[in-house]
C-alpha cells in the first residue's frame, strides 16, 4: 500500500511540475516575448506566398504595416491598440484567403490560416499583458 502511495504521489508531483513548466510556453507574459511573437509573424508574412497584381505593391506591405504598428503599440504599452492592429491584420488575411490569393497548402510553406493562428496567439498574450497591467483583458 505504501509503495502504491509513493507511486501516485510521485506521479501527481511529476504531473504538476510538467504543467508548471509547460504553462509559460502557451502564452507570453512579457513585452519582449510578445515582440518576439510579432517578429515571427512578420517573418512568416514576408515568406508566405501571396498572388495577384497587388501582392507585392499593396497586400504584403499592408500586412507588414499592421504588424509594425502593433509592435509600436506594444512598445508604448498600449496593448489593446496592438490587439486592434492585429485584428486589422486578421481581416486582411481573411480577405486574401477568401479571394484565393494567399497560400493555403501547408506543403507549400506558410499558410494564411497559420498567420491567423499566430495572430490569435499573439492577441491572447496581449490580453494577458493587459490583464497583468490593469486587471482586465481588452474589450
Q: What is the pLDDT at residue 17? A: 43
pTM across the whole model: 0.79
Cell triple for 47: 515568406
Rounded-to-integer distance, Cα 41 and Cα 118, Å: 7
- The string of DSSP letters for 12-45 reads HHHHHHHHHHHHHHHS--SHHHHHHHHHHHHHHH
Q: What is the pLDDT at residue 16? A: 44
Is the per-residue pLDDT at 20 higher than 80?
no
Cell triple for 55: 501582392
Q: What is the pLDDT at residue 9? A: 53
- pLDDT tens for 91-113 read 999 999 999 999 999 999 999 99
Rounded-to-integer distance, Cα 10 and Cα 16, Å: 10
Per DSSP, the three-state class of 8 is helix
Rounded-to-integer distance, Cα 53 and Cα 76, Å: 35
Amino acid at each position: 500500500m505504501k509503495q502504491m502511495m509513493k507511486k501516485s504521489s510521485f506521479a501527481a508531483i511529476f504531473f504538476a511540475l510538467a504543467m508548471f513548466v509547460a504553462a509559460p510556453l502557451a502564452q507570453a507574459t512579457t513585452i519582449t516575448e510578445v515582440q518576439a511573437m510579432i517578429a515571427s509573424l512578420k517573418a512568416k508574412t514576408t515568406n508566405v506566398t501571396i498572388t495577384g497584381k497587388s501582392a507585392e505593391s499593396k497586400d504584403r506591405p499592408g500586412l507588414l504595416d499592421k504588424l509594425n504598428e502593433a509592435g509600436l503599440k506594444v512598445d508604448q504599452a498600449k496593448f489593446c491598440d496592438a490587439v486592434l492592429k492585429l485584428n486589422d491584420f486578421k481581416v486582411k488575411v481573411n480577405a486574401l484567403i477568401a479571394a484565393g490569393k494567399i497560400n493555403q497548402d501547408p506543403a507549400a510553406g506558410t499558410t494564411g490560416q497559420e498567420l491567423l493562428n499566430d495572430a490569435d496567439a499573439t492577441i491572447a498574450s496581449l490580453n494577458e499583458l493587459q490583464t497583468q497591467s490593469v486587471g482586465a483583458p481588452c474589450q
